[in-house]
Amino acid sequence: MPLKSVDAGHTETLYVKRVVDVPYSYNAGKYVSRYLNELKEHKRIIGSKCSSCKKVFVPPRVSCSQCFQENEEFVQVSDAGSITAFTVTTVPYTDPNTGEPKKLPFTAAYIKLDGADTNIMHCINETDGKVLKTGLRVRAVFSENRTGDHFTDIKYFAVIRD
């Protein structure tokens, strides 16, 4: 007996709910391993510096994306910097670090730390659109229980209030 067309009679889309647990780890490499260790042990943020154009990459990168030279020098940058872009999220979002729903609203931002030439992405402790703006100064707040295996050893960035 032939089946009816897929459009015949059934219009509701059904959802199959599953919880998928996929734990994994990867080799962070020499440069990011050093970065994570500095966060954990010393609450220091480091970058790598290009020997040619002197750009500082945070987190440290092996080679310069501008002149393709090896970044052989590690340098400490400030734990303070300026927001260069941001978004306030108000829709449900699953935190990829925990697998749990993230508390709403939250602000994710690009931050250019003093002494760095690149941005890092992290959360900001401010969600008020009247306060948030590019150029706003922020400072890293380190986690009390740093593990050395994740960027969340910086808990978030706090707005520097005058």
Interface with Zn ion by CB under 5 A: which residues?
Answer: 50, 52-53, 64, 66-67
- Which structure tokens are listed for 145? 């229980």
CB nearer Zn ion, residue 52 or residue 134: 52
What secondary structure, in 3-state letters, does the chain show? Answer: CCCCCCCCCCCCCCCCCCCCCCCCCCCCHHHHHHHHHHHHHHCCEEEEECCCCCCEECCCCCECCCCCCECCEEEEECCEEEEEEEEEECCCCECCCCCCECCCCEEEEEEEECCCCCCEEEEECCCCCCCCCCCCEEEEEECCCCCCCCHHHEEEEEECCC
Shortest CB 54 distance to Zn ion, Å: 7
Shortest CB 64 distance to Zn ion, Å: 3
CB nearer Zn ion, residue 66 or residue 84: 66
CB nearer Zn ion, residue 64 or residue 136: 64
CB nearer Zn ion, residue 53 or residue 121: 53
Please give the order of strands across the beta sheet that includes 56-57: 56-57, 45-49, 73-77
Shortest CB 55 distance to Zn ion, Å: 5
- How long a stretch of residues is the chain? 162
CB nearer Zn ion, residue 64 or residue 154: 64
Shortest CB 116 distance to Zn ion, Å: 14
Shortest CB 59 distance to Zn ion, Å: 16
